[in-house]
A and B are shown apart, each in its own frame.
Chain A
Amino acid sequence: MQVLYLLIETIVKCVVVFACLMLSVAYLTWLERKVLGHIQIRFGPNRCGPFGLLQPFSDGIKAFFKEDLVPGRSDKAVFVLSPMIAIISAIALFAVIPFGDQFTLPGTNWVIKLRIADIDVGLLYIFGIASLGEFGIILGGWSSGNKYGLTGSLRAAAQMISYEVALGLSIIGVIILSGSLRLTEIISLQAGGFWNWNIWYQPVAFVLYIICGLAEINRTPFDMPESESELACGFNIEYSSMKFALFFMAEYAHMITMGALAITLFWGGWQAPLPQLDFIPGVVWFCGKLFLFCFFFIWQRGTFPRLRYDQIMKFGWKILFPLTLLNLVITTLAVLLKG
């Protein structure tokens, strides 16, 4: 009986999280266009429904009815497979993110924990799956049989290798502080108000994490695999219809996960910034913080120009990598000296 309950609970949670994630991905595209529009003193989408709120659905319908082309010279199996890899890994990332505390179902003693899986190696899982997502991009560009796609995927590979190192090293400080890879434990160690959040203990790591995260999700200052200006959309140049939409959704889902992970590691997860505000459910705090992060990701896209490819490589290896190492050494020393 216990197993059956667990199964039902897990399936319901999976469905709810999946639906919410897809809905937020849809509205993130809307938010992005809207915010970028307002940054450029124009309106953004405002014709489709009130405030353009139905725009994501009309985009989806459009993508669905477009012609689905597979280039003749492409490696067909891999070409079809790579958007799937991208979207599956982007969605699977959300499985370990804790988006709230637990609550008891009214009228029963059924305790529901607001996370799909709470595994010991949560962080390791996230970094493993996140790197898997890059394979979607690399294989997609490589299999389309297009020189722009190939260049884009080569850049994706190089960028992934150089920034994943710094990304991994930047969060090791947090792991040292909390002594665990389990995300719920990292959150519970930051309990009791915003002054306990890891961002005050690891400010450099937080900034480095955000920068590397932007590079990891191929967002604008680092959007080398998909350089619109010189590679004509890079790895997804040959993709059309729903295959392109899947890449697109994967990118945005990845962005949400990057934000959620930043919240979990540095901003106290779903916990309220002040202990007095604890009566507001954790999910609300989680969504609010996530909105702030997503807004920042869009805001910085509307602000910063793109870096050149060699600048990105230089920045990754000569600045970010040493800084993360330095941060790691200092954190280790501080923890050792404190005993």
Chain B
Amino acid sequence: MPATLEQIREHFSGMDGAVTTPADHAAKGYDLDVALAAGGVVAAAEYLGGIGFSLDTMTGVDWIAQNEMEVVYDYFHPASPLRIVVRTRVPRDNPEVPTVSGVFPGANWHERETHDFFGIRFAGHPNLTPLLLPEDADYHPLRKDFVA
């Protein structure tokens, strides 16, 4: 039986550094927004994977004005209509997030793409080589200060 939103919210509130914000599914497209420290993303992935959620997609955001980069994970449950977003922020000068490809192997290519375009390193990733950019690319095009 899939966990209810309240149970999920309670679990995340227990994690240190987590800020949970419920959202209107019709307006935002997701039910819960969880902002965590970078060290907690693997535990979050394991918990959500354990109660039946799957990783839909993940992407990065460059908050250049705040000198931070954000990684956003979208989780969905196939049976219940719940969608949960997990976010984490890292410093822009040395962005590093632990990999979730051990929990969700499908995240392997998403992390490679996020690394290609933002330069965020995923610690523990088995193969962080360029996926979409040429093999010898040393630029990260989706950074806000990227100039071709």
Partners in one complex: no
| B interface list, Cβ under 8 A from A | none
| A interface list, Cβ under 8 A from B | none
